[in-house]
Structure 1
Amino acid sequence: MESDIYRPLGLTDDEFDLIVHHLGREPNLVELAMFSIMWSEHCSYKSSRIHLRRLPTSGPRVIMGPGENAGVVAATEDISVALRMESHNHPSAIEPTQGAATGVGGILRDIFTVGARPIALLDSLWMGTQDNPQSRWIFDGVVGGISSYGNAVGVPTVGGEIHFAPPYAENPLVNVVAVGVARTDQLVRAVASGIGNHVVLLGAATGRDGIGGVSVLASSGFDQASADKRPSVQVGDPFEEKKLIEACLDLLDAKLVVGIQDLGGAGLTCATSETAANAGNGMRVWVDRVPIREAGMTPMEILCSESQERMLAIVTPDNLAAVLEICAKQEVLATVIGEVAPPDEDGPYAGRGVLRAYFDGAMVAEIPASALADEAPLYERPLREPNDFRLRVQREVDVPADWREIARGVLETLTFDPEAIYRRYDHMLFRNTLVTPGADASLLAIRAPEVGSTDLAMGLAVDGNQLWSRSDPRRGTLAVVAESLANLACVGATPVAIVDCLNFGNPEHPEVMWQFSEAIDGITEICTVLGVPVIGGNVSFYNEAHGIDIDPTPVVSTIGFRPLPAHAIPDARLARGSVVLVTTGETPSLTGSVFAAIAGDQGGAFPTIDLERLRHLLSVVASLVVADELINAAHNLGAGGLLGGAIRLAQLAGQGLELEYPDASAEALLGEHPSRFLLTTEVPQALLAHLSQEGFEGVVIGELGGEKIVYEDWLSLDPPRRHPIGAR
């Protein structure tokens, strides 16, 4: 086959030869297209799988881990929580509104695919600075896409984070987290078992809007010419998604499906090959039975389309009539498009389950299902530590004499008020939200129509810090996880699992792969020591524009449980009294800090974290929050250090703050380290005594009140605007 046919599809010469080996012949064009999307970086993880294997993925609460549509952990003996995190970066750069909206729609389907009702969304957005018109257009479109889809589909956006930095001007990051709850006995996996069972396509008709969508856009470099791919961005319909949610949950509740799978990246090709491969079976698919919304669609287009709001269900013949009845009641289109087939008994694929696709009576594709789903090439790409890394870590950040001017610049970076964004999201749907957006973490009651009410709440946080990860991908990423766990402690939750979204540049660049490998080691280290498994995630490579890679940007979302509060929840927006600093005793550092970024200094060694001390401190803070006796607020210190965190606390509380801290050095005030908290209390001596008993030294650093935020004679900020709880 001519190379000008398969190379534009993203396949290399070696990959084409491997396809020929799997088939025992050259592929036709339909088969070649199917391999190209399934073996894309986005779908196959061919550059990352070898590293992801190092992550700890098991634990006493883990029910489903990596490899499933969503990770699932046990909340109680009978109730489970599903968690998933995904990216929609390149589609959002090309068409911000639909790119972000369909990212939300896709991740919601991952949740109800395992049998859970979606009850919450969080997002992590990384945008270019807003003095750039294109960045403003992208940002406004992304926020509009998230809010319009989430609000319309009826799933609240309960938290998140927003970052603005130059590396994300043309390659923004849109990372979305979805959470759902289910009865454990209702969980289902993506398997096409039962020879002769029907393959039923549910949901929207198939169009050309998603052909070569996320599977292609997220698997190659990015430049201005990528705007020509705008038609490849899927178009979402949240009302169709809402009907699909209810229909699928009804089907699962009635136990009418054997297996179910979302049609996300790689569309029908992915859903059919993965479900068949998971069961070790084959599948016959009649492509011309697929409902289409555009005339003249070819088999290749139908098999590769990533049109939204579609699911694939495996149904026994006895249950088909009931399935069609429920779908008709929910006004969801349901069409039998195939059947589960046994593995071949003889011929070139003897002993293997084969996916065979037919169109107008002719077979247009014949591929072993596992070749598509499980046998993509596995690359151990070259790693290379940057030439200047060792030199950078051997020196300290240079602190100029006029560092207080830089300090004011640090504080200016922290003045962005996300309230205008949160107001576009409905965060009170289901009335589960106990701590609303704007706090260190969100807190939700665990309840839904399918599971009723429980006496548990779950804390949810999503965090990233590209300055930390850029300065030291291993230690910095470990610190990102530590900060997210610390944010959970601020709402009283004990962590049980994390998911991640690993956003990196071009994996063909050895320095990028070194960054990625180091980040994996950082996550592995802290999660192993603290016993917090990684139950799922997403790798997003090729985040670059014009050949320039973004900063390494691993983002993690953490989940933890706590008793359902019986009283007002300690919250920074209710803070009053004395402000107490408590730490693990480790020294903050300017390396990787906002201060260093503004100063233009990337030197220094990123600080280490005493993980055992951190584990104990997280437990102490979470216990204080749950008890609600000694403190009225807890706030984790991250970006901006002590000074930035204290000012943020005062702003959230809507009060002035007279800050008194004896160490007036730049390192003490603006150095960063995730193992520190600010606690506010009206009984400071009792709190200090309690901290001392736990082995920690606390110190009162100021009092809330007054009309200004004041420190020494060089910092005086105007009165903060009050942020009442419930206004978000």
Structure 2
Amino acid sequence: FGDPYGPKANKVRWVAEGVVDGIWQYGNALGVPNIGGDIVFNESFDDNCLVNVVSLGIVRRDQIIRSRAPPAAGEGGYDVILVGKPTDSSGLGGVTFASEALREEDEETNRGAVQIPDPFLKNVLFKANADLFALVRAEGIEIGFKDLGGGGFTCATSEMGSAGGFGMEINLDDMHKAADFPAEVLSIAETQERFLIVSPPELRQRILKIYNEDWDLPNVYEGARASVVGKINTGDRFTVTYKGETVCDVPIQHLTGGIRYQRLEIPRAIRLTEPQVEEPSDYNAVLLKILRSPNIASREHVYRYYDTEVMGNAVIRPGEADAGLIAPVRGEKFGVALATDSNPFYGRISPFWGGATAVAEAMRNVAAIGARRPSGSSGKE
């Protein structure tokens, strides 16, 4: 965050409070324990904050489901299934908005770019997804699965097809939607709580039954469901039709490969020299200055909002050490230590060494609570 005592203090505090509220309101309701973190205040972030999130999950290696169309998808004409909330106009341009300077007076103007979350629906979707994964494991069938995030529906579909080396045909008429929005809104709105599945046609009815009947999504959230919205093909085109018209027909790689252009640039202003610190004449004044800094203040005011006990696997919680520890597998005598750290001050001297020192600090913090590399690990993972 920015400097809470600087010239933009009111804005910095407004942003910080909003971030904390957003994290605890969604995370607590979803049932995800918050095990630790780090907060640094610096005037470099007065206009916009930077929030990095580390989310840890455990899955058996032979049960990993990848976010790409599987190899058999092209010849098999696999279905493209959209699951979750009805697509609306929320989050439209959300990725661009997230990179802009935040101003409290623009809150109403930017409201449409902010996604509207529903953690209860997400919780139900997680359970339904678990049933889907159990089904494909039992059948021995490979599927593709992806969460919809930045860029919305078009980003998720094109990435799934392109990653598998296939084209895709989409019909927006088949998409469950909150209203009769234009094609461009349906394509790039960042409506929350949505997933994309690429699966063989023979599983279609069973997958739809899991979401629409077994977990009854339409009655959990108005308009929520699973819908078949397209199919995979062996070509390289990404085509979208809506109301009888083709609204998009491009090589799928054009959507995922990015573009090249020459940016206007100036030499980077990197210091690359260590500061020369003179012997202070008044250590009492130095101590008082340090104690006034928000960067050494207690973080309890923040982490007390977060639920650390949900799931019942927390061993070392925020405030008890400089790293968190969970025991994720019941009955097994091993834990996972986590720490996140940063040093924006050193980043001004050298971005590379600023990043390196942040990683080194996190390593020291997990080592300090007794964590060590698993036996048999090379340390290169």
Q: 2:86 aligns to what?
A: 205
Q: In structure 2, what is the Cα distance between the partners aligned to 1:454 and 1:301?
A: 48
The percent of aligned pairs where both chains have the same amino acid is 32
Consecutive unaligned residues of structure 1, counting only runs of 5 or more, are 1-125, 344-352, 497-529, 534-728
2:292 alignment partner, SS class: helix
* Equivalent position of 1:469 in the other structure: 347
> What residue number does 1:128 align with?
3
Deviation of 1:446 (Å): 2.6
Which amino acid counterpart does residue 127 of structure 2 have in structure 1?
E
The answer to whether 1:318 aligns with 2:202 is yes
Q: 1:280 aligns with which of 144, 147, 165?
A: 165
Contact 2:42 2:344 in 1 (8 A): no
Q: Does the CA contact (< 8 Å) of 1:434 and 1:445 recur in 2?
A: yes
| Distance of 2:35 and 2:226 partners within structure 1 | 33
State yes or no: 1:368 paired with 2:260: no
d(CA) in 2 for partners of 1:142 and 1:238? 16
Q: Counterpart amino acid of 1:205?
A: P
- Whether the 8 Å contact between 1:130 and 1:136 is mirrored in structure 2 is no
Give the direction of change, closer, same or farther, for the CA distance of 1:189–1:212 in structure 2 (3 Å limit): same
The answer as to whether partners of 1:198 and 1:339 remain within 8 angstroms in 2 is yes
Give per-residue Cα distances to partners, 1:64-83, cap 9 Å, x unaligned: xxxxxxxxxxxxxxxxxxxx
2:227 to 326, 331, 335: 335
Moved more, 414-423 or 178-187: 414-423
| Deviation digits for residues 48-96 of structure 1 (CA, Å, limit 9, x no counterpart) | xxxxxxxxxxxxxxxxxxxxxxxxxxxxxxxxxxxxxxxxxxxxxxxxx
- 1:483 aligned partner, one-letter code: E
**Counterpart of 1:436?**
317
SS at structure 2 position matched to 1:222 = coil
Pairing 1:314-713 to 2, within 5 Å after superposition? 314-327=198-211, 328-332=213-217, 333-343=225-235, 353-377=236-260, 382=265, 384-386=267-269, 389=271, 392-393=273-274, 396-413=276-293, 416-438=297-319, 439-447=321-329, 453-494=331-372, 531-533=379-381
Which residue does the alignment assign to 1:171?
Answer: 48
Letter aligned with residue 239 of structure 1: F
Correspondences of 1:252-267 after superposition (within 5 Å)? 252-255=133-136, 258-267=143-152
For residues 275 and 166 of structure 1, the distance between their equivalents in structure 2, rounded to whole angstroms, comes to 40
Aligned partner letter, 1:171: N
Q: Is the 8 A contact 1:261 1:311 kept in 2?
A: yes
Deviation at 1:340, TM superposition (A): 0.8
Find the aligned partners of 1:190 and 1:467 in 2 and give their Cα distance.
37
Distance 1:239 1:257, change over 3 A: farther
The partner residue of 1:186 within 63, 70, 92 is 63
State the one-letter code of the partner of 1:129.
P
Q: For residues 361 and 318 of structure 1, what CA distance do their matches in structure 2 show?
A: 27
Alpha-carbon separation, structure 2, partners of 1:152 and 1:309 = 14
Whichever residue aligns with residue 401 of structure 1, its letter is S
C-alpha displacement at 1:169, in angstroms? 2.7
Secondary structure at 1:160's aligned position in 2? coil
CA contact (8 A) 2:291 2:297 kept: no
Please give the alpha-carbon distance, in whole angstroms, between the structure 1 residues aligned to 2:58 and 2:102.
40
Report the CA distance shift for 1:257/1:245 in structure 2 as closer, same or farther (over 3 A).
farther
| Aligned-pair CA distance for 1:494 | 2.6
Residue 163 of structure 1: CA displacement?
A: 2.2
Match for residue 246 of structure 1 among 114, 124, 127: 127
Cα deviation for residue 379 of structure 1 reads: 6.3
SS at match of 2:22: helix
Whole-Å Cα distance in 1 between the matches of residues 354 and 258 of structure 2? 33
| Residues 40 and 342 in structure 2, CA contact (< 8 A), matched pair in contact too | no
Aligned AA (2:345) = L
Give unmatched runs, 5+ long, in structure 2: 218-224
- 2-structure distance, mates of 1:235, 1:486: 38
Cα deviation for residue 286 of structure 1 reads 0.5
Q: 1: distance between equivalents of 2:53 and 2:132?
A: 26
User: Contact conserved, 2:153 with 2:188, CA < 8 A, in 1?
Assistant: yes
TM-score of the superposition, structure 2-length normalised? 0.86
SS at match of 1:146: helix
Q: What is the alpha-carbon distance in structure 2 between the residues aligned to residue 229 and residue 460 of structure 1? A: 35
Deviations 1:659-682 (A, max 9, x none): xxxxxxxxxxxxxxxxxxxxxxxx
Residue number in structure 1 paired with 2:221 = none
Give the paired residue count. 356
Aligned 8 A contact 1:263 1:310 in 2: yes
Q: Cα distance, 1:342 vs. partner? A: 1.6
Tell me how far 1:138 sits from its aligned partner: 1.9
Q: Which of the two has higher C-alpha Rg?
A: 1
Per-residue Cα deviation, 1:521-560 (whole angstroms, up to 9, x for no partner): xxxxxxxxx9445xxxxxxxxxxxxxxxxxxxxxxxxxxx
Q: Which residue of 1 aligns with 2:18?
A: 141
Question: Is 160-169 or 174-183 further displaced after alignment?
Answer: 160-169
Match of 1:217 in 2: 97
Rounded to whole Å, the distance in 1 between the matches of 2:268 and 2:301 is 41
Q: Check conservation: 1:128, 1:172, Cα contact below 8 A.
A: no
How far has the Cα of 1:130 moved from its partner?
Answer: 5.6
Which of 138, 155, 167 is equivalent to 1:270? 155
Question: Helix, strand or coil for the counterpart of 2:192?
Answer: coil
Query: How far apart in 2 are the matches of 1:458 and 1:223?
Result: 36
**Over aligned residues, Cα RMSD in angstroms?**
2.4
CA–CA distance in structure 2, aligned partners of residues 380 and 532 of structure 1: 35
Is the 1:440–1:487 Cα contact (8 Å) retained in structure 2? yes
Q: Deviations over 1:664-706 (max 9, x none)?
A: xxxxxxxxxxxxxxxxxxxxxxxxxxxxxxxxxxxxxxxxxxx
Cα distance per residue 1:342-390 (max 9 Å; x no partner): 21xxxxxxxxx11110101211100111111124327688573437x36
Question: Which residue of 2 is the match for residue 678 of structure 1?
Answer: none
Report what 1:77 is aligned to. Answer: none
Runs of 4+ in 1 over 6 A off after TM superposition: 378-381
1:489 Cα deviation from its structure 2 partner: 0.2
Counterpart selection for 1:229 from 99, 110, 116: 110
Task: Render the CA deviation track for 1:425-455: whole Å, top value 9, x for unaligned.
Answer: 11011111111112211111132xxxx6433
Query: Alpha carbons of 1:467 and 1:205: their partners in 2 closer, same or farther (altered >3 Å)?
Result: same
More strand by share: 1
